Structure 1
Amino acid sequence: MALYALVLFYHLFAKELAPHKPLAKFLCIKGIVFFCFWQVYHLKCF
């Protein structure tokens, strides 16, 4: 649900946010959170 809200926010304010290039920054943060989650999951399993 939160990801859907962020996508809607991005589409509504795409023109205003264009100079800041938020998509690349968002994907970097999302990737860090994703890989940290799986790293913790794998460390608990082994």
Structure 2
Amino acid sequence: MWSLRQQAKDGMGVEQWRAGGASCAERAKRTEASLSKVMYWDCWGPK
């Protein structure tokens, strides 16, 4: 799990978790994409 601060920084994480209509697989796929984006910005993004 990433921290709330990182989730807010990503800006998409909360919306994805609120998308209750999406299937588990779809949610997992989006969460994975969001996670990799967060990790990318943590490493390479502006501090």
Normalization by structure 2: what TM-score? 0.47
Richer in helix (by share): 1
Between 1 and 2, higher relative CO (CA 8 Å, sep ≥ 6) is seen in 2
Normalization by structure 1: what TM-score? 0.48
Larger Rg: 1
